[in-house]
Amino acid sequence: MPRSLWRFAAFYFWYYAALGAYTPYVGRWVDALGHGGFVIGAMLGLWYGTRIVAPPAWAALAGRSARPGEWFVAGCVVTALCFAGFLVTREAWALLGVMAVFGLFYNAVMPQFEAMTLTALGPSPELYGRLRVWGSVGFLAVASSYGALMDRFGADSFPWLTLPLFVAMAVSAWPHRHDRPPEIAGPAIAEAGHLFKRPGVRRFLLVAMLMQLGFGPFYVFYTLHLQAAGHSGAAIGALWAIGVLIEIAMFWQAPRLIARFGAGRLLSVCLGVTVLRWALVAAFADLFWVMALAQTTHALSFATFHACCMRLITDYFPGRRAVAGQSLLYGFSSGVGGVLGAGLAALMWERVGAGPAAFAAGAVVALVAWGIHAMRRPTPAATPA
């Protein structure tokens, strides 16, 4: 890989290293502060909600600037400053306020950076995977180790342990202050409303949304569920590491599987395996070897499912329509599905039966998604845009 691209690998590493601390362990920290499942669910719900609003708003602001790279650096610095607000917040209303502002900036900068990365790669887009994998390495390094660190220093140490990662992210953004995203001429996002009516699109988006909804208990309460089942922080970190490692490996193999079996058929397998995964997590959380086995299914329920969705996007939204298609998928899956999933997880955790009930609900949602997908019609052949 050319030396000039290592600065991109560095930013991916630190951005996802910070995410590797936040996603698995923010719930454990909020729980240690004495707050219940509804506050934890609201924290993650705001996280997903800002993913809907932040990227287009930030793109509009940065796009009007003659120096968009400086906007990018500023966004990363403000992200670190906002996260520092968690050092002095304990009340629920304050936590949610800081979360809302922090999420807006943290979720805004990555789409801009992705565009700058593709511009830098130019005629060599195949190098993207070699850069992006450093993000997975960063997530893996932190997610696998922070459980043990919080065991040693206490759950209250979470913001102090994590803030340096955001500072490092801001520092790694500085070399990109002169970078620019590409000038893209394509369809307006408004075209997505028309594409929403195309045959099969609504079913596909509904399945993607339900899959993300079913992941709600995993992203919000997985660490707490394992902790309640008696696992140590080191064991929990190891389980997160298994999922990330298998995800990395499967992303390399998914194109071959899709070419052999077809995205639609493979998606059915992913959904079926996900039902089994959440059922195992609900029923056997105290058995480490069962949880390790369940984490290996992340290869299908996340990595392969995501790859299948990307392939189906090119069928439903060929050519220049892919931009509008991606906006629909992102909004329905990561946005709506993420918010609803966090809400479902919090409701089941607080009102029904904590971890087992939350993950059982996730299994039911995945089962519904599998049934909806099973009733699909053949994917339309791609046509030139």
Question: Do 39 and 155 belong together in one domain?
Answer: yes
Choice among 121-130, 211-220, 340-349 with the minimum mean pLDDT: 121-130
pLDDT in the model for residue 323:
52
- CATH number at 42 reads 1.20.1250.20
Domain boundary among 153, 184, 215: 184
pLDDT in the model for residue 319:
57
* DSSP character at residue 383: -
Question: Do 48 and 137 belong together in one domain?
Answer: yes
Span 97-118, mean pLDDT? 85
Surface-to-core class of residue 126, CB atoms within 10 Å of its CB (0-12 exposed, 13-18 middle, 19+ buried): exposed
Question: Do 164 and 299 belong together in one domain?
Answer: no
Report residue 326's pLDDT band, with 50, 70 and 90 as the boundaries.
low
Question: Distances from the Cα of 124 to the Cαs of 101, 117, 118, 121, in angstroms?
Answer: 36, 11, 9, 5
Question: Do 168 and 280 belong together in one domain?
Answer: no
Q: What is the dihedral of CA 46, 134, 155, 161, to 10 degrees?
A: -100
Q: Tell me which of 67 and 89 has the higher pLDDT.
A: 89
Question: Do 234 and 157 belong together in one domain?
Answer: no
pLDDT in the model for residue 251:
73
Mean pLDDT rounded to a whole number for the chain: 83
pLDDT in the model for residue 186:
46
pLDDT in the model for residue 324:
60
Model confidence at 256: pLDDT above 70: yes
pLDDT in tens, 132-189: 778 888 988 998 898 889 889 988 899 999 999 999 999 999 998 887 665 544 444 4
Model confidence at 314: pLDDT above 90: no
Question: Do 319 and 172 belong together in one domain?
Answer: no
Q: Tell me which of 118 and 253 has the higher pLDDT.
A: 253
d(CA 363, CA 369): 10
d(CA 354, CA 229): 11
Question: Do 253 and 314 belong together in one domain?
Answer: yes
Model confidence at 196: pLDDT above 60: no
Question: Do 31 and 150 belong together in one domain?
Answer: yes
What does 125-171 look like in DSSP terms, one character per residue? GGGHHHHHHHHHHHHHHHHTTHHHHHHHH-GGGHHHHHHHHHHHHHH
Tokens 């690998």 appear where?
9
pLDDT in the model for residue 172:
95
Domain boundary among 154, 169, 184: 184
Question: Do 179 and 213 belong together in one domain?
Answer: no
pLDDT in tens, 22-52: 988 888 899 889 888 888 888 888 888 888 8
- Picking from 24, 201, 206, 19, the residue whose alpha carbon sits closest to that of residue 109 is 19
For 242, the 3-state DSSP assignment is: helix
pLDDT in the model for residue 61:
77
Question: Do 29 and 113 belong together in one domain?
Answer: yes
Report residue 124's pLDDT band, with 50, 70 and 90 as the boundaries.
low
Percent of the chain surpassing pLDDT 70: 86
Span 253-275, mean pLDDT? 88
Question: Do 282 and 137 belong together in one domain?
Answer: no
d(CA 249, CA 244): 9
27-36, 50-59, 192-201, 363-372: which is most confident:
363-372
Choice among 218-227, 308-317, 337-346, 357-366 with the minimum mean pLDDT: 308-317
pLDDT in the model for residue 382:
42
Q: How many domains does the chain have?
A: 2
Q: Tell me which of 317 and 207 has the higher pLDDT.
A: 207
Report residue 294's pLDDT band, with 50, 70 and 90 as the boundaries.
very high
d(CA 106, CA 101): 9
Model confidence at 84: pLDDT above 50: yes
Question: Do 201 and 172 belong together in one domain?
Answer: no
Model confidence at 203: pLDDT above 80: yes
Domain that holds residue 330: 191-385
pLDDT in the model for residue 272:
94
Model confidence at 53: pLDDT above 90: no
Domain boundary among 126, 155, 184: 184
